[in-house]
A and B are shown apart, each in its own frame.
Chain A
Amino acid sequence: MIIKDTVCPFCGCLCDDIEVTVEDGKIVATDNACTLGTSKFLGDHRMKSPIRRVGKEWKEISYDEAIDYTVDMLLDADRPLLYGWSGTHGEAQCVGVHMAELLKGVIDNTSSVCHGPSILAIQEVGHPGCTLGQVKNRADIIIYWGCNPIDAHPRHLSRYTRYANGFFLENSFRDRKVIVVDVRKSQTTNLADEFVQIKPGCDYAVLSALRAIVRGKGDDLPRTVGGVQREQLFRIVDLCKKAKFGAVYFGLGLTMTAGKYKNIRNAIELVDELNRHTKFTISAMRGHYNVYGSNEVNTWMTGYPFGIDFSRGIAFYNPGETTAVDILARKECDACLIVASDPAAHFPRPCIEHLAEIPVVQIDPYANATTAFCDVQIPVGITGIDAAGTAYRMDGVPIRTKKVLETAYPSDEEILGSVYARIQEVRQP
């Protein structure tokens, strides 16, 4: 059986044109998907049942036992942390927010360790953006800054930019200019019409130089800025101003390097400046397929996109204080529920050491680096494969992922719903 127009639950591109071939209850082939998506669809070695650590051994337990453990752990905690969320659907994220509120816990998602600084910049200066189709149909100049889409978002170029023909661009490859700004050569820089190689840590200075040129103050610039020749900077500004529609996409190379949120703020202000001359937009290359969805869900339910502390009953937000790594590094957290993410692969060592000391339950279909720090792991259906649900693309467009396989695994929403119902019995009789 071939299922058309399936949604790929891998990256923030959320490609929805995948053809999946299912035979004997297994996915045997995919069409249109990139290698990352294909490996997710064809993934194997899923955990068979919930497991619990007993001494140095893992013991298989039932779903009921796993839920009991989770409920007891959360009810017993003074400062529970509910973390992850970027790899699951919105319906499960909503249950998570309600649960954090009732437990007076902290809920945070993976953006606090990826595009969190981008969000802080947006909260200062706003975000001139657009949907991906607006870029595909109109943009005659694309700037990739501090990202390598060929590696991380493989179909971004073919669906939306370099190779995507659009309404006003009949021959995209010829009519669109692609500029790539990075500290080193990559597969993406090879495709650029213009590669701007900057010295590590100099993004802020280069952005400031570009802003100065756009404002007609370029004469004061030195011969090179951040390793980039003045002439190249002027050439880029000229290309941008002459463009009919420009789109900047940035990645963690801009967000997580020296300057952090100030870099993003500067980039947004450059785009803002360019809008006084032509049309320009800027957007983050969001990684996990539904990390943006967890920002959206948290925002309509609590007012804030990540790092929300309910310990005083109200929703309190102070990144750097109420974010997962900070709560763990300060050893405040005394129980942790991890959903659809792998913090042990990304968090600083002191945080992981603290995770090893406290009770941890992970809800995830696969064993991962975090499994080693868990007391219980509960395998679930994979959203977009054996569970359906809502995901938000990197540009904010919501798409319903499909269930293409019938398996016995419960969804994240079902497991969390059972845990929440049990917590309600105690805390809200």
Chain B
Amino acid sequence: MSEILIKNAYVIDPISGVNGETMDIAIRDGRIVEDVGGGAEVIDARGALTLPGGIDSHTHICGTKVNFGRYMSPEDMRAGRTARHGYMHATSGYSVPTTYGNSYRYSRMGYTTLLEGAMAPLEARHTHEEFLYTPLQDTMANALFDGNWSILEAIRDGDTKRVAAIIGWFLTAVKGFAVKLTNPGGTEAWGWGKDVTCIHNPVPNFEVSPSEIITAVVKANEMLRLPHSVHLHCNNLGKPGNYTCTMGTLGLIPDLNKKRQTLYATHVQFHSYGGSGWSDFCSKSEPVANVVNMRPQIVIDMGQVMFGKTTTMTADGPMEFNLYRLHHDKWSNHDVELETGSGIIPVLYRRKNLVNAVMWAIGLELGLLVKDPWQCIMATDNPNGAPFVRYPEVIALLMSKKYRDEEFATVHPDTESRVPLPAIEREMDWYEIAVMTRAAQAKALGIVDIGKGHLGVGAEADVAIYPVRADEVDPAVDYRKVIEAFGKTEYTIKRGRVVSRRGECLVDGNNTTIWVKPKISEEYNMANDPDFIAKFDRYYTVRMSNYPVQDEYLKRNLCIETEAEL
């Protein structure tokens, strides 16, 4: 039995309704409890800001595409080297760090749970292997279904139950957590070097449109009663004028779930562009934020861009090729048979580049214009908009108009005529930041019930203590203190153990992989479906019996079983 008592913590815990109370937190055997005995280890927080462990609900940290980002970029590896010392292994990389690099740097910032945003089912084993070497966070993965042939065919045949059954089979087989659609239909079209333009354009050979894919998969997701909603990367990413497509997509979504949103739209910054080309490129954050404000069934994440070097990587193969044709640096592509695609290119976002400056502004505008912080999550689509180590700056920008104005003065002068940012006065408070960096994520992912994102009795003892007095510091003025505090915790506690202390990671952790298993009736069990099996045998290059991720790849894990309506 191990016990910790955190004394004098200045707690903000939105899910439990705590906003700035100085209190003690008792921990026993990895869980929050009412109280502990006299022998407990005492940590004196001295009034420092204490939050539930941070959760990133959309990041790229593990798997085939991430690793290829490292493989092709020795220059990025050199840009972030640390030597082995203490319990910490050597790390490399700035925008795509090695697995230990990701884990230590997230831990130092108080993050204890991470969702890998895009896992190709065929290559899921790879993601799980890297999870094993990401020791200080619990991990989970979105499985990609945007170009899955069996699903496209079932949608064409109008059989939503079959869509759900197929998703259920794949999620269970690959130990995935949630359903991801990346440029639905577009990744299949990219198999022929083509793309779809917005949601009503049919996918070659399959006679279904992105809007049909999105609506069917949203319904199927709810039939499976999954903890998380469909996680969508909209069509047309990065193209001027794409905001109409984004609004049309958000307009498709009914409100189907009482506990959480029905759609999680990711990195919406990249989907809120106006203009007919690069010359009149401008922000359309206002109409997009308005749609979100009117539709409680939608949650978005910002996809904030920060100036500097990074690496872009996504399952959206055609988008990466278009981006490559603008940047001309180097380009990798990796199509995955029967399922999806992916692309990677390095980029440099420049302050003095008008398009980049507009992108930077749009992310912040979304954060500030979406009224309810539970509906807009702070993220950079790590590393696409910026590496996650830039989060403290994003937080400070949301909290300080002064900081925004100072930054705005350094960007391309024409930016002012293209974006509403300078006119936005809103400054987020500590509570809103606590929502946008952990509580909203836990709720959106549907993991509050397993004890994530809050500090109520029974919750997982994942706690971040930041070296700042939230009751004394005015973040709107002292934004430098905000950046410093969120950059390095005093303590990060994971499942009741101190894993990071002032940036030093103290133990070799042992993470939990969280995955889902919908219980499906025999009638809809795809493992017995002759047509599904025949197609698998004929077109995949891996045998169906060798496809599922074996138990050996999950050391510590938590399976969430759901009762599917099938």
Does B410 have its Cβ within 8 Å of any Cβ on chain A? no
In the docked arrangement, what's the CA distance between A26 and B9, Å? 65
Does A364 have its Cβ within 8 Å of any Cβ on chain B? no
Contact residues in B for A166 (Cβ distance below 8 Å): 539
In the docked arrangement, what's the CA distance between A7 and B130, Å? 22
Does A264 have its Cβ within 8 Å of any Cβ on chain B? no
* Contact residue among B70, B84, B539 (Cβ-Cβ distance under 8 Å from A313): B84
Q: A244–B192 contact, CB under 8 A?
A: yes
Q: B332–A127 contact, CB under 8 A?
A: yes
Q: B333–A130 contact, CB under 8 A?
A: yes
Q: B345–A136 contact, CB under 8 A?
A: no
Q: B546–A7 contact, CB under 8 A?
A: yes
Q: A123–B333 contact, CB under 8 A?
A: no
Q: A16–B193 contact, CB under 8 A?
A: no
Contact residues in A for B229 (Cβ distance below 8 Å): none
In the docked arrangement, what's the CA distance between A272 and B538, Å? 30
The size class of the interface chain B forms with chain A is 35 or more
Distance from B357 Cβ to chain A, minimum over Cβ atoms (Å): 27
Q: A275–B193 contact, CB under 8 A?
A: yes
* Contact residue among A126, A398, A399 (Cβ-Cβ distance under 8 Å from B330): A126
* Given A128-B331, A134-B191, A400-B552, also A304-B74 (CB < 8 A): yes
In the docked arrangement, what's the CA distance between A78 and B130, Å? 31
Residue on A nearest B76 in the bound complex, by CB = A303
Does A396 have its Cβ within 8 Å of any Cβ on chain B? yes
Q: Which of B39-47, B175-183, B335-343, B460-468 contacts A (4 or more CB under 8 A)?
A: B335-343
* Contact residue among A160, A168, A275, A303 (Cβ-Cβ distance under 8 Å from B93): A303
Distance from B126 Cβ to chain A, minimum over Cβ atoms (Å): 5
* Given A137-B338, A315-B90, also A303-B74 (CB < 8 A): yes
Contact residues in A for B125 (Cβ distance below 8 Å): 390, 398-400
- B111-132: contact bitstring with A at CB < 8 Å (1 yes, 0 no)? 0000000000011011001100
In the docked arrangement, what's the CA distance between A125 and B332, Å? 8
Contact residues in B for A245 (Cβ distance below 8 Å): 191-193
* Contact residue among A138, A281, A310, A388 (Cβ-Cβ distance under 8 Å from B90): A310
Distance from B233 Cβ to chain A, minimum over Cβ atoms (Å): 20
Does A212 have its Cβ within 8 Å of any Cβ on chain B? no
- A132-150: contact bitstring with B at CB < 8 Å (1 yes, 0 no)? 1110111000000000000
Distance from B208 Cβ to chain A, minimum over Cβ atoms (Å): 16
Q: B332–A126 contact, CB under 8 A?
A: yes
Q: A167–B149 contact, CB under 8 A?
A: yes
Contact residues in B for A296 (Cβ distance below 8 Å): 67, 71, 126
Contacts of A99-118 to chain B: CB distance below 8 A: 101-102
Contact residues in A for B550 (Cβ distance below 8 Å): 400
Does A372 have its Cβ within 8 Å of any Cβ on chain B? no
Q: B89–A132 contact, CB under 8 A?
A: no
Does A314 have its Cβ within 8 Å of any Cβ on chain B? yes
Residue on A nearest B85 in the bound complex, by CB = A313
Distance from A13 Cβ to chain B, minimum over Cβ atoms (Å): 9
In the docked arrangement, what's the CA distance between A304 and B541, Å? 28
Does B262 have its Cβ within 8 Å of any Cβ on chain A? no
Contact residues in A for B123 (Cβ distance below 8 Å): 396-398
In the docked arrangement, what's the CA distance between A256 and B485, Å? 52
Contact residues in A for B92 (Cβ distance below 8 Å): 302-304, 314-315
Does B352 have its Cβ within 8 Å of any Cβ on chain A? no
Does A407 have its Cβ within 8 Å of any Cβ on chain B? no
Contact residues in B for A272 (Cβ distance below 8 Å): 331
A to B contact number (C-beta, < 8 Å): 180
Does B98 have its Cβ within 8 Å of any Cβ on chain A? yes
Q: B72–A126 contact, CB under 8 A?
A: yes
Does B543 have its Cβ within 8 Å of any Cβ on chain A? yes
Q: B546–A400 contact, CB under 8 A?
A: yes
Q: B332–A4 contact, CB under 8 A?
A: no
Contact residues in B for A167 (Cβ distance below 8 Å): 149, 538-539
Q: B85–A134 contact, CB under 8 A?
A: no
Does A37 have its Cβ within 8 Å of any Cβ on chain B? no
In the docked arrangement, what's the CA distance between A47 and B404, Å? 70
Contacts of A1-52 to chain B: CB distance below 8 A: 4-5, 7, 16-17
In the docked arrangement, what's the CA distance between A427 and B471, Å? 46
Interface of B is mostly: mixed
In the docked arrangement, what's the CA distance between A134 and B336, Å? 7
Does B321 have its Cβ within 8 Å of any Cβ on chain A? yes
In the docked arrangement, what's the CA distance between A55 and B2, Å? 56
Q: Which of B85, B205, B539, B546 has the most CB of A within 10 A?
A: B546
Residue on B nearest A272 in the bound complex, by CB = B331
Q: B191–A4 contact, CB under 8 A?
A: no
Total number of A residues with any Cβ neighbor in B under 8 Å: 63
Q: A128–B90 contact, CB under 8 A?
A: no
Q: B543–A16 contact, CB under 8 A?
A: yes
Contacts of B516-558 to chain A: CB distance below 8 A: 538-543, 545-546, 550, 552
Does B200 have its Cβ within 8 Å of any Cβ on chain A? no
Does A96 have its Cβ within 8 Å of any Cβ on chain B? no
Contact residues in A for B426 (Cβ distance below 8 Å): none
Contacts of B437-472 to chain A: CB distance below 8 A: none
Does A122 have its Cβ within 8 Å of any Cβ on chain B? yes
Does B77 have its Cβ within 8 Å of any Cβ on chain A? yes
* Given A136-B541, A400-B546, also A131-B336 (CB < 8 A): yes
Does A343 have its Cβ within 8 Å of any Cβ on chain B? no
Q: A122–B332 contact, CB under 8 A?
A: yes
Contact residues in B for A303 (Cβ distance below 8 Å): 70, 74, 77, 91-93, 97-98, 101
Contacts of A253-274 to chain B: CB distance below 8 A: 272
Contact residues in B for A314 (Cβ distance below 8 Å): 81-83, 90, 92
Contact residues in A for B541 (Cβ distance below 8 Å): 131-133, 136, 159-160, 397
Does B344 have its Cβ within 8 Å of any Cβ on chain A? yes
Contact residues in A for B82 (Cβ distance below 8 Å): 314
In the docked arrangement, what's the CA distance between A108 and B428, Å? 50
Q: B77–A315 contact, CB under 8 A?
A: yes
Q: Which of B77, B99, B205, B335 has the most CB of A within 10 A?
A: B335
Contact residues in B for A131 (Cβ distance below 8 Å): 122, 334-337, 541
Does A251 have its Cβ within 8 Å of any Cβ on chain B? no
* Contact residue among A101, A133, A300 (Cβ-Cβ distance under 8 Å from B70): A300
Q: A281–B73 contact, CB under 8 A?
A: no
Q: A127–B335 contact, CB under 8 A?
A: no
- A69-112: contact bitstring with B at CB < 8 Å (1 yes, 0 no)? 00000000000000000000010001000100110000000000
* Given A138-B191, A303-B74, A400-B125, also A126-B543 (CB < 8 A): no
Those 6 A-B pairs whose CB atoms lie nearest each other, nearest first: A133-B337, A303-B92, A313-B83, A303-B77, A279-B193, A126-B330
| Chain B residues proximal to chain A, CB less than 8 Å | 62, 64, 67-68, 70-74, 77, 81-85, 89-93, 97-101, 122-123, 125-126, 129-130, 133, 149, 190-193, 205, 321, 330-338, 344-345, 538-543, 545-546, 550, 552
Contacts A167-B149, A299-B98 supplied; 14 other A-B pairs, CB < 8 Å: A98-B89, A125-B331, A131-B337, A132-B337, A167-B539, A280-B193, A300-B130, A301-B98, A301-B133, A303-B91, A303-B101, A310-B84, A313-B90, A396-B123
Can you list 8 A-B contacts (CB < 8 A)? A4-B545, A126-B331, A159-B541, A278-B193, A299-B70, A303-B92, A303-B98, A314-B81
